[in-house]
Structure 1
Amino acid sequence: MTVIPEFTGKRLVLARHRRRMTLAALARTSKLTTHSLTHFENRLKYPSPQSLDRLARALDVTPEFLQAPPPQTILPEAMSLRSPTRLTARKRYSAVAVAELSAACVAWIETYLWLPCPNLPSWPQMDPEHAAEDLRAHWHMGDAPSGPLTPLLESHGIRIFALPPDCDDVGAFSTRQSGTPFVFLPSHLDGQQARQHLAYELGQLVLGPSRPGHRDSRTAALQFATAFLMPRTGVMASMLRAATPERLAAAANTWGVSTSAVLHRLHDLELLPEWSHRTTAQELGGRTGPSSSPGSTSVECSHMLPKVVAYLRARRLPIESVAELTALRTDDPPCWPTMSGTGAPTTAASWDPSG
């Protein structure tokens, strides 16, 4: 029997996890035995060319994908998965597969062009409020509204990807791989939701996932996100102590958050007494949700995406070939997704490196 020494068992496991398939399900689809699959995954034996083709078809990958070197491993413990104990093993492993394949994509791109170096400190022992203030100072942001977060984070070396739709149920998460920070967002988010998730995951990265999924870790990340989006000095300078609902809505548009978020921030900073906070919240009523006025929340778009695509195409590099090493389907060009106003990736920028 002809063997394929290049076959990588890790790649088989990676593709199976990404597709959320059990060994039994893959055995049924590929018409191979679970015994053989276990041996393939543990590299106790190699598949024949015919078996390799069966596996590729069952997993919707290319044979080259299964033969390529495995990407660097990312441990689930190093990922800021929301409520990881409530996620099934299949969902957790699929998220890990997405992260590993996305990191491999970045490594492939970096062999051809320079990407911004990571400029994100880690302050695990710092108070969330002060950590947000110090990061703003580190990035020379002052106390002004941040504007769109995606290009800001990308400029400081944070790689942002949209989760494939079949992994949206995992929720947003972040991780670091070899010092490079990554953030993954569900594909259905609107502009305001994307901002909130980006700020939250930024907090997870800065404060560190020492206890990922732990309630204290989530609370700290939320406090960080609030302080980062609405810095104390900027909010205090807005003179919103006795603001009308209309002024609060205008402030929410300025900061790119919901009106209720502004109201809670004022209360947390002791700029509103309890009675005033309750009265204003009742006044706002249905207006405490995301603002619906045009342009109230900036659309989160990648500035790096068009540059990466233009560079690769201008040099006639085989963009599709990255799929054989990092992606699960060969008909997707390698780029970061751009979040549209409705949260769906745009056609020209919807590449998902993990299929």
Structure 2
Amino acid sequence: MFNKSRLKVARQRAGLTMRELAARVGIEPRTVTGYEAGEYLPSDDVAQKFARVLGFPLEFFAADDLDIPQVEGVSFRSMSKMTARQRDGAIAAGAVAFLLSDWLDGQFDLPHADVPDMREELPQTAAAGLRDYWGLGNRPIKNMVHLLELKGVRVFSLGEDGKEVDAYSLWRGVRPYVFLNTQKSGERSRFDAAHELGHLVLHKHAAPNGLEAEKQANEFAAAFLIPEAPLRAAGRIAGLPKVVQLKQEWSVSVAAMAYRLHETGLLTKWNYQQIFIEISRRGWRTEEPAPIRREQSQIWQKVLSEVRRDEQLGLGGLSELLSLPEGELEKLLFGLVTVGVPSAPRTAPVTPPRGKLRIVK
């Protein structure tokens, strides 16, 4: 049986409108609309054309319904930069990620979600409360991706072309998800991760969209990554060199550190303005001084190491098990892992033994 939800996801992942897909397949646009609405089924010939044009195996379209994120439940880091086509493609990536995540749950014992609901708290209060709840104290957070994974958050990348497609997060039942644009600098990706964590704790199962929700998530991220107390211990800041030193200590962008210092009253308005002018003059809005290394995933490094050791599986075997193109799996893990996983042909379905992954702080 041809699955309408899978046709829509594959089309959106290919970045095509229904009219564009119809033109490539050689059918009427209204016909594609009917297929996606489930009004009727395509012939075998048309189904094969869909698979060829969209780059998905034919078996993908014959499997069960996909769990597709709802637009109103998705928190995008920035909606203004994206076109509707880019937004739909990024959300469709969530449906593919759910398939990979469900396979992961079936093969490994991983941490359950430990992300509290703090909807009644102010952003800065929630940030301090979550640090206390997780036992982080006021020390710098070494790795945001590792921390999220340790607390049961599934982290994926958005391997889309261009930086317009920004980070987003959502709850799927009891499991929180974060999708990061890993083409950004390491500092900005860390802030995105903290921003999305803010949405997860402040706007759980709500409609986390709009300027006010974004403002709250930004306030949370700044307070979570850079607690106020240790900043005050450093005293009033007068010059850019000290700002750069603190940005290295807390692994945030120099612009974010300057803003946080001004927000907490440690930079006067005049000093903040002068420092920001100098940051812009030096090109540090896009290229960071003393950049940090990009954060990577512990879970996916360990999982893919297991896949690599299984010569019968490989990434090609995993894509076959899930009826997904290898390219879709690679996009979801782009920037989160460093080691490529070679494909390996399989002669029979292989299910690796269930394992237990240990995540360290």
TM-score w.r.t. structure 1 length? 0.84
2:348 is aligned with 1:348:
no
CA distance in 2, matches of 1:88, 1:117: 35
156-165 or 215-224, which deviates more:
156-165
Gaps of 5+ in 1: 1-5
CA distance in 2, matches of 1:234, 1:257: 15
Across the aligned residues of Structure 1 and Structure 2, the Cα RMSD in angstroms comes to: 2.9
**Structure 1 159/136 Cα, relative in aligned 2: closer, same or farther at 3 Å?**
same
Deviation at 1:126, TM superposition (A): 0.9
CA distance in 2, matches of 1:327, 1:132: 40
Tell me the amino acid that sits aligned with residue 182 of structure 1. Answer: Y
Could you list the per-position Cα deviations for residues 120-170 of structure 1 after superposition, in whole angstroms to 9, with x for gaps in the alignment?
112122111111111111111110111121111111111111112237532
Aligned residues: 339
Match of 1:113 among 101, 108, 113: 108
CA distance in 1, matches of 2:76, 2:329: 27
Deviation at 1:82, TM superposition (A): 4.4
Gaps of 5+ in 2: 344-361
Partner of 2:117, secondary structure, is: coil
120-129 or 218-227, which deviates more:
120-129
- Structure 1 counterpart of 2:357: none
On the 8 A contact 2:48/2:58 being kept in 1, the answer is yes
CA distance in 2, matches of 1:138, 1:165: 35
Partner of 1:184, secondary structure, is: strand
Tell me the amino acid that sits aligned with residue 335 of structure 2. Answer: M
- Structure 1 counterpart of 2:221: 225
Alignment of 1:188-227 (within 5 A): 188-208=183-203, 210-227=206-223
On the 8 A contact 2:314/2:342 being kept in 1, the answer is no
Partner of 1:348, secondary structure, is: coil
Deviation at 1:188, TM superposition (A): 1.2
Could you list the per-position Cα deviations for residues 239-258 of structure 1 after superposition, in whole angstroms to 9, with x for gaps in the alignment?
23145432322111000123
**Structure 1 27/132 Cα, relative in aligned 2: closer, same or farther at 3 Å?**
same
- Structure 2 counterpart of 1:45: 40
CA distance in 2, matches of 1:347, 1:52: 35
CA distance in 2, matches of 1:325, 1:11: 16
2:339 is aligned with 1:339:
no
Partner of 1:174, secondary structure, is: strand
- Structure 2 counterpart of 1:250: 245
- Structure 2 counterpart of 1:292: 289
CA distance in 2, matches of 1:119, 1:334: 27
- Structure 2 counterpart of 1:263: 258
Deviation at 1:228, TM superposition (A): 0.7
Percent identical among aligned pairs is: 29
CA distance in 2, matches of 1:283, 1:32: 57
TM-score w.r.t. structure 2 length? 0.83
- Structure 2 counterpart of 1:306: 301
